[in-house]
Amino acid sequence: MKTPNSAKSASGLRGTYEGAAADYTVAQAWERYTPEMHDRWRRLYARQTELAKRHAAPQILSGLAALDCADGIPDFARTNVLLGAATGWQLVAVPGFIPDDCFFDHLANRRFPVTNWIREERELDYLVEPDIFHDFFGHVPMLLDPTFASFMQAYGGAGRRAIAMDALDMLARIYWYTVEFGLIDEGFGLKAYGAGIVSSAGELVFSTEDAQVLRLEFEPVRVMRTAYNIDRFQSCYFVLESFDELLKGLVDLDFGPIYERWRETEPLPAGEFHDGDRPYRGNLQA
């Protein structure tokens, strides 16, 4: 998620906020990417697509195939033609983290902010802030799926109310455990669709194969009440049966009373099983 962060690096393209518009958008400046940057993208892309074939949701795989961006850092102008025709979404370039209200406004208007810089060579396996590889490879394929695309817009719309009700932490946990670290089992095995997983070599395998980690069936209120890890693999994952379930979870629920009931309480620690939880059994049952 893109939340405000004052820690900005001055190196290269990273975090250049000067000249950004009021909505924090900047030009992608595609022509400024060097051959080394495109080569880094190609290597990241090749590694992750190989893992994704086994562990990622089919929507990720079909999205990546349609985006056709194995050969170098994609030009958003080209991507936007495809995205616009498929679901009406558009990518906008941003320098990195942007304020929450601005982020929600982009989503509510089917604009997805994508960081315009790529990680350094030493950050191939891990980086703190999202870069263009995380934002594009992890998030954009799902924006081609009509149901997920509608969910993302609805999530943006929910943001304003969460801010007004001082319940942003609760809503942000929905994003974290779905858009970033979500798993799904539509009847043919456990697969990842969350961008934080899909763009991570280690967590793509861990989240779908580890026999010990807690996996629960998706339940929106439980998700909103669960803390998460920001600097290591998740201790808990929530598993959808379908993306319709995700969209319905956001559209059908009245979040107001839920915020009022839980916003003052400490979240449940990640990784703890509680009464009433529905464990995901799926393909790990054997």
CB 226 within 8 A of CB 173: yes
CB 5 within 8 A of CB 129: yes
How many residues of this chain interact with Fe ion, rule: CB under 5 A? 2
The distance of closest approach from Cβ of residue 143 to Fe ion in the complex, given in angstroms and rounded to an integer, is 12
Stretch that binds Fe ion, among 14-22, 65-73, 78-86, 192-200 (CB under 5 A): 192-200
The distance of closest approach from Cβ of residue 51 to Fe ion in the complex, given in angstroms and rounded to an integer, is 17
282 Rama class: left (phi>0) / alpha (psi -120 to 50) / beta:
left
In whole angstroms, give the CA distance from residue 198 to residue 184.
Answer: 12
At residue 196, φ and ψ (nearest 5 deg) are -65, -30
From residue 130 to residue 149, the character string flagging contacts with Fe ion as x (rule: CB under 5 A) and all else as - is x-------------------
* Nearest to Fe ion of 172, 258 (CB atom): 172
* 94 binds Fe ion, rule: CB under 5 A: no
Measuring CA to CA, how many Å separate 7 from each of 20, 128, 230? 17, 11, 16
* Nearest to Fe ion of 179, 216 (CB atom): 179
* Nearest to Fe ion of 13, 195 (CB atom): 195
The distance of closest approach from Cβ of residue 72 to Fe ion in the complex, given in angstroms and rounded to an integer, is 21
Stretch that binds Fe ion, among 63-71, 125-133, 143-151, 269-277 (CB under 5 A): 125-133
In whole angstroms, give the CA distance from residue 167 to residue 181.
Answer: 20
The distance of closest approach from Cβ of residue 241 to Fe ion in the complex, given in angstroms and rounded to an integer, is 23
Measuring CA to CA, how many Å separate 193 from each of 21, 25, 170, 181? 31, 26, 21, 7
In whole angstroms, give the CA distance from residue 139 to residue 180.
Answer: 8
- Residue nearest Fe ion, Cβ-based: 195
Q: In what order do the strands lie in the sheet with 191-192?
A: 191-192, 183-184, 236-240, 214-217
The one among 57, 195, 246, 247 contacting Fe ion by CB under 5 A: 195
Stretch that binds Fe ion, among 8-16, 126-134, 168-176, 239-247 (CB under 5 A): 126-134
User: Hey, which residues are catalytic here?
Assistant: 134, 139, 180, 199
Stretch that binds Fe ion, among 22-30, 184-192, 194-202, 235-243 (CB under 5 A): 194-202
* Nearest to Fe ion of 81, 128 (CB atom): 128
In whole angstroms, give the CA distance from residue 207 to residue 236.
Answer: 9
The distance of closest approach from Cβ of residue 198 to Fe ion in the complex, given in angstroms and rounded to an integer, is 10
In whole angstroms, give the CA distance from residue 81 to residue 87.
Answer: 10
Q: Which residues bind Fe ion (CB under 5 A)?
A: 130, 195
